[in-house]
Structure 1
C-alpha cells in the first residue's frame, strides 16, 4: 500500500494548494472581523498570496467590512449579530471543514498578524508533525511586545498551562494552523476571547499534537482596542479558572482546602498554647481557626467528589467513542 504523498504546489503566482496523492486539496484562511473596514481588504489580499480560499466571518459589523471583504475576493459569512470572537471563529472553521480542506489557518482581521507568516505557521501541519500550531510572540525575544501586554499574556498562559496540562509559551495567540484532524475535533463550547485557551485544553484532552512557531505582531493598527484590556483579561482568566476547576478539581479545591486546614490547625495550636501559658483564651482566633478547618475539609471533600465525577464522565465518554 502506497502512503499518501504530501507536497506543495503553487496556484496562479503565489497561491498554495496541497497535493495528497493525486487529489488537490486547499488550505483555508479563516478571519473573524468586526468593524475592520480600514484594514480587512489588505489582510485578505495579502493572505490570498498564500491560499486561494480566504473565509471572512463578519461578526455583525456596522461598517463596510463585509462589502470590502467580498470585493477583495474572500468568501464572506455574515453573522446576524455580534456574538464574539469564539462564535465567529467556530462558524468559519466549521465552514472550512465542510469544504474538505486539508488545513485551516486562523488569524485576526485587524492587521496585527502578518499574512506573510502563513507558510511558517502551516509548515508543521502540512508536514504531518502537528495538529495545532500556535504562532507564538514569546519565542522571539525581539518581538517588541508592550510590557503590560506581556505581563497579562504570560499570566493567562500560566493559568492555561495549569488547566490544560499542556505547556505553551503563548496560549492567547490567535494566529494558528489546524490540521484536518483538529477540524474534526471542534466539538467544544467557548465564548468570546477564551476560545484560544479552550481550544488548547480540548485538543490536549483529545491527544492532538500541539506545537509553536515564532511570529511577530504589529500593535500600531487602527482598531487595536475594541475591548478594554482589563475586562478582556479578567474575562479570559475567569473562564480559565473554571476550566481548571473542571479539568483538575483536586488541584483547584484540594490546595486551598489544605491551606485552610493548616491555618485552622495552626490557629488551634496557638489558641491552646496561649491559654496554657497565660490562662487567656483567644476566642476570636479560635473561631477563625475552626471556621478555616471546616471550610478546608469541605473544599477537600468537594475536590475528591468532583474528581470522581470527572473520572466517571471521562470513562463514559471513552466507552461511547469506542462503541
Structure 2
C-alpha cells in the first residue's frame, strides 16, 4: 500500500515494490504518519537498495509530467517526483504512475527541491541518481548516455548543450549568459566544462553521499559543482538535447536567475579563494598605476616638479592594488589556518 510520511513539512508517498510495477493496484486512501521518526525519510529502505533512481523537481507540471515519467521509467529502477508546492494535479498524476512522491507544503525553490532529492536518494541507498526537468525540456531517451559515464567511474555527469553532438534551441542571450557563468565558475575552481548550468545530470554514489546543498534557488546547481570539485569528485560531460520551445512554468526571469547564480559564485570565490578574489583586481590596479604614472614620475625625476593629477591618480592605483593583494594574502592565511 501507499504510505505517507510527514517529516519537517515534507510528505512522502512511497509505493511498495509491487505497486511500483503495477501502479493501478495502489490504494492512496491508506496513510500512516511517522513524524517522530529519526530519519528524514523513514521506510524508504523497505524498497530495494542499490538501484538507479531518476528524480525531477516539479512545480505545476500537470500538463507534461505523466509523459515524462512514463519515458523515464524505462531506464531506471525508481522515479522520485518532488512536488514543490504545486497547486495543480502534479502530485496526483505522479502518484498514480507509481512514483515516489515527495510533497513540499510550500514552494522551496529549485535548490530546496534538489536538497530533498539528494536526501531521498541517500535514504534509498541509490547507486546512481539522474536529475532532469519534469516539463519535457530534457530528453529521457538520453538517460543511458549519462548512466554509461557512471558505469565508467565518473562521479558527476553533466549534460552539455555545447559539446559536439548536442542540440538546443536556446536563445542567444541565454547562451551568452551561460558562457559568462562558465567563465566565472572557473575562477572558483570548476574548469574545463562547457556547460555548468544544465540541470540534466547524473550522480554516482560518492556524489550522493558527499553533496550537501545549502542554496535554495537556481544557484544550487553551481553549488553542487563547487562541492564536487572541492571533494575531488570526477566530473565529465556528455552531449544532450535541451528544448526551449515549451510552455514554461518558471516564475524566475533569466536575468534574475543569472544574477542570483553570479552572486553565489562570487561569494564562493571570496570564501574559497580569497587571494584570487583580491589579488586579481589588485594586480590590475598595480598595472594601471605603473602605466599611468610612468611619464609623470619620469618627468618629476628630471624637473623635481610636483606630479600632475595623472601622477597622483597613479599613486592611488598603486596603493589600492597593494592593499588588495595584502588583504588577499591575510585572508588566505586565515583560511588555511582554519582548514588546518
Q: Compute the displacement of 1:229 (Å).
A: 0.9
Determine which of 82, 96, 99 is the counterpart of 1:71. 96
Match of 2:145 among 120, 123, 134: 120
CA displacement 1:104-140 (0-9 Å, x = unmatched): 1111122101111111111121x24211111111113
Contact 2:50/2:124, CA 8 A, preserved across alignment: no
Structure-2 separation of matches of 1:210 and 1:88:
22
Counterpart in 1 of 2:223?
198
Instruction: Name the structure 2 match of 1:135.
Output: 159
The answer as to 2:331 corresponding to 1:306 is: yes
Give the distance between the partners of 1:278 and 1:305, measured in 2 at CA.
Answer: 39
Identify unmatched segments of 5+ residues in structure 2: 1-19, 23-47
Deviation of 1:35 (Å): 1.8
TM-superposed CA distance for 1:160, in Å, is 1.5
Which range is displaced more, 300-309 or 282-291?
A: 282-291
Q: Deviations over 1:144-184 (max 9, x none)?
A: 43322221112211222221243211111111111111111
**Aligned counterpart in structure 2 of residue 39 of structure 1, from 54, 64, 67:** 64
Alignment partner for residue 136 of structure 2, among 87, 111, 114?
A: 111
Q: In structure 2, which of residues 122, 127, 133 is the aligned counterpart of residue 102 of structure 1?
A: 127
Match of 1:217 in 2: 242
Show the 5 A alignment for 1:158-237: 158-223=183-248, 225-237=250-262
Contact 1:114 1:217 in 2 (8 A): yes
Give the conservation status (yes or no) of the 8 Å contact 2:168–2:244: no
RMSD: 2.4
Label 1:95 to 1:144 Cα distance change in 2 as closer, same or farther (>3 A): closer
- With over 3 angstroms needed to count, the CA separation of the structure-2 counterparts of 1:246 and 1:51, relative to structure 1, is same
Deviation (angstroms), 1:248: 2.3
SS in 2 for 1:305: helix
**TM-aligned CA deviation for residue 186 of structure 1:** 1.6
Whole-angstrom CA distance in 1 between matches of 2:310 and 2:293: 8
Task: Look up the SS of the partner of 1:207 in the other structure.
Answer: coil
TM-aligned CA distance change 1:191 to 1:290, over 3 Å = farther
Q: Tell me the distance in 1 between the aligned counterparts of 2:199 and 2:318.
A: 43
Q: Distance in 2 between the 1:308 and 1:92 partners?
A: 37
Q: Is the 8 A contact 2:165 2:240 kept in 1?
A: no
TM-score by length of 2: 0.79
**How far 1:194 moved relative to its partner?**
1.2
TM-score (norm 1): 0.83
Q: Does 1:27 align with 2:52?
A: yes
